[in-house]
Chain A
Amino acid sequence: MIAIVRKALSITALMILSLSVNGQVKRDKIIGQYIYNFASNISWPNDNSSAIRLILLSSDLEVIKEIKSVLKNQKIKGKTIDLTVMAKPQKSITQAHLIFIAKDKLAYYLEIFDQIEGRPILLVSDSYKNKNYVMLNLYDTENETLKFEINKHNILNQNLALSDELLLMGGSEIDVAKIYYKSQRSLRNMEKEINRFNNKLESLSIEITKSNSRVEQQKAVIDSQKVIQARQALKIVTDRQLFEQQLQRIVMMRDSLKASDQELEKQQREILASKQVLEQQLTNIDEINKQILLKNKELKEQGTIIGEQEKRMQLSYVIISLIILLIFITLLAYRQKRKQHQELNIQKLKVDTINEELTEKNEELNASLEEIKRMQQEMIQNEKMASLGLLTAGIAHEINNPINFVYAGINSLLRDFKDIEPIIKKVSEIKIDDDNVGEKLRQVEALKKELEFDEAFNAIPHIINDIQLGADRTAEIVKGLRNFSQTDQKTRMPVLIHDGLDTALLLLKSKYKNHITIEKKYGKDIPVIDGFEGKLNQVFINILSNAVDAIETKGTIKITTKAEPNMVTISVKDDGCGMDQAVIDKIFDPFFTTKPVGQGTGLGLSISYGIIQEHGGTIEVRSEKEEGTEFIIKLPHSTKHPMS
């Protein structure tokens, strides 16, 4: 009860005080009262201290005095007041219960606020502007009354409890939300400002970089100009040196000119002197001239006398020299004649020796000509022998087989006949009127089986056929040989071209049988050729043999014959190794061969060429290397009986 009364009293006292007198002293007193009331209406939790520790932060003596007087001998909640005055915040403020920051020390407010954060300490401030951080703040109103505002949140944050009567005392609550909102807005504004500043900063920095690069460029320009300047300075120095050199030269020239000037003067003086001398001498000469004239007269007179004498002398000289000349000439002529005689003799000798040599050489030439003719004959003979050799080889090869047929065939036939002979005998012994014909016939049957009668009997006609074949072929070959051996015919006969070609093929068969295919395309109605059969056959064998030789591994030879109005064309085409142009040009030359030594005489084609010419025909060759060769023979024909 007393407490309440006391409280009411104090409140009214305060109100009266606040309503009544102005003046700072009173204000300070009010402050003191406020402090007292605040301390009385705040509870410090878990507080066991015996005294309430108040700290006054001020250097204002008046304020201190008034507050001290108010709080003198007062007790808050039964506890004594322990008042400390500080000019600056010290460490011990953390032990206080209440700190009053006077107007003159508001600069320390935040520092103290931070220090006491979380502690049960109440901050009372006088006219602190930042509502965010006040706890209990005293402020002057417009009509100069001292009011206070509360920031409950901050007070509660310090673990302090407020009593409701605090508000009754005339304080106003600070709207924290408003403060927050205000601070947010101010933050946003500040952010906006910051952004603006940032943008400005960016643009400024861009500008800076731009102007930096410009500066760099200009620096470069300045550098280059510096270089140019340096170069020019150098040039100036060198030019100067040159000028100096030239100056020196000019000076030297000037000096020399001076010297020569002096020389000229000297010479001029000398000239004057000599001129004088000359004049003197001229007068001397005049005198001498006069004397000479006189003497000339005298000389003339003497001259005429001498002239006459000379004439006489000259005559005698001429006569003498003429005589000498005559003698000389005769001597020379004599010598020449002798020389010519000698030369003639020498030449006569030379001519005689040359004559002898010539006759000798003539004899030698004749001898070698004979030799060559002989050798040619030999070679032709060799060629004939070679082709004959070819023939015989071919014939031997070819005759071999048919002879085998005949030979072996006869043998076989004999034995077959021996086999069937007993059976024939047996059969012929059977007489019509025999008793045991049946028995005899059975015996015959048995014998037939024993001796393999059927086999032998059936074989016989075949064997006979083969023997016949062999004999026929042999005859053919011999006929062919006869054809070829008749190369010395004297009269022309009708010749069948196809027969000649076939015979040639037959004779060469063993050479080509294995690897060459022959394609014969014989034309129809090929007319008869008037000529020498043996020689034409020789041509065919030569051309075909060459074709066979041209094919190395495998190939084909095509033989075509065709009848034309005036000619018979025979073509022999092979797909062998062919010839290049250089060889084609020489192919009909005698002794030209592409075969190794010993294998070809080189005469075959040249002889063939001659034979065809003899018959009034032509022989041509077409060839390509690696492709093949074609020989085309054209022979004129007699238009008698066309026979194929």
Chain B
Amino acid sequence: MKDKFKILYVDDEVSNLRIFKDSFRRDFEVILAESGNEALKLMEEHTVDVVITDQRMPYMTGVELLREIHERYPDIPPHRLIISGYSKNSDIERAFESYKLFKFISKPWRYAELKQIILDAVEKRIY
């Protein structure tokens, strides 16, 4: 049985975290974080394959989290970072250019669509 890919999902709404984990627990190993800081701490303990984060969070937005990740792990392979949120804005555009953002997904997301995006992101590593 092959090892499942590790996904780190960051959102400030507990319900979102629960639903995400329940949706994808069969497909991936899901680690949850309620804030940007918690996410960074978890990344020190686990080697994560993909990071998906909500944009609109208090204390540290999704883009700010990506910037932190970029600074701490500058040689993270590209296409590993995904943001979900209500709408794109200039911050998110910048994240595409500067912080190796792979994709932006708008909420609400659909299970099948998000699964495919995650697989795309992960499998790019093998090539």
What residues of chain A have their CB less than 8 Å away from a CB belonging to chain B?
396-397, 400-401, 403-405, 407-409, 411-412, 415-416, 452, 455, 459, 462-463, 466, 469-470, 510, 513-515
Contacts and interface: CB of A to CB of B under 8 A. Distances in A.
Interface of B: 13, 15-16, 18-20, 22-23, 25-26, 56-58, 61, 86, 107-111
Contacts of A469: 15
B108 A513 contact: no
Contact of B111 (A408, A416, A466): A408
Given A408-B20, A408-B111, A416-B22, 11 more contacts: A401-B16, A405-B15, A405-B16, A408-B23, A408-B109, A409-B19, A411-B23, A412-B23, A415-B26, A513-B58, A514-B58
B22 A452 contact: no
A468 to B, nearest CB: 10
9 closest A-B pairs by beta carbon, nearest first, are A404-B108, A466-B15, A412-B22, A408-B19, A412-B23, A407-B108, A459-B22, A411-B111, A405-B15
Contact of A408 (B26, B57, B86, B108): B108
Contacts of B58: 513-515
Nearest to A404: B108
B22 to A, nearest CB: 4
A409 B109 CA distance: 11
A462 B56 contact: no
A51 B86 CA distance: 156
Contacts of A405: 15-16, 19
B22 A404 contact: no
Contacts of A466: 15, 18-19
Contacts of A397: 86
Nearest to A510: B56
A452 to B, nearest CB: 7
Contact of A404 (B25, B56, B109): B109
A463 B56 contact: no
13 contacts: A396-B86, A400-B108, A404-B16, A405-B16, A408-B20, A408-B23, A408-B108, A408-B109, A412-B19, A415-B26, A463-B22, A466-B19, A515-B58
A455 B25 contact: yes
Contact of A470 (B15, B25, B26): B15
Nearest to A406: B108
B56 A403 contact: no
A400 B23 CA distance: 18
A408 B109 CA distance: 8
A463 B19 contact: yes
Contacts of A401: 13, 16, 107
Contacts of A411: 23, 110-111
Contacts of B56: 510, 513-514
A267 B25 CA distance: 152
A513 B61 CA distance: 11
Contacts of B107: 400-401, 404
Contacts of A470: 15
A463 B86 contact: no
Contacts of A455: 25
B87 to A, nearest CB: 9
A403 B15 CA distance: 11
B107 to A, nearest CB: 5
Nearest to B21: A459
A415 B24 CA distance: 10
A464 to B, nearest CB: 11
Contacts of B26: 415, 452
Contacts of A403: 108
Contacts of B20: 408
Nearest to A469: B15
A466 B58 CA distance: 21
Contacts of B108: 400, 403-404, 407-408
A277 to B, nearest CB: 127
A470 B26 CA distance: 24
A391 to B, nearest CB: 16
Which of B22, B56, B61, B109: most chain A CB closer than 10 A?
B22
A470 B16 CA distance: 10
B57 A514 contact: yes
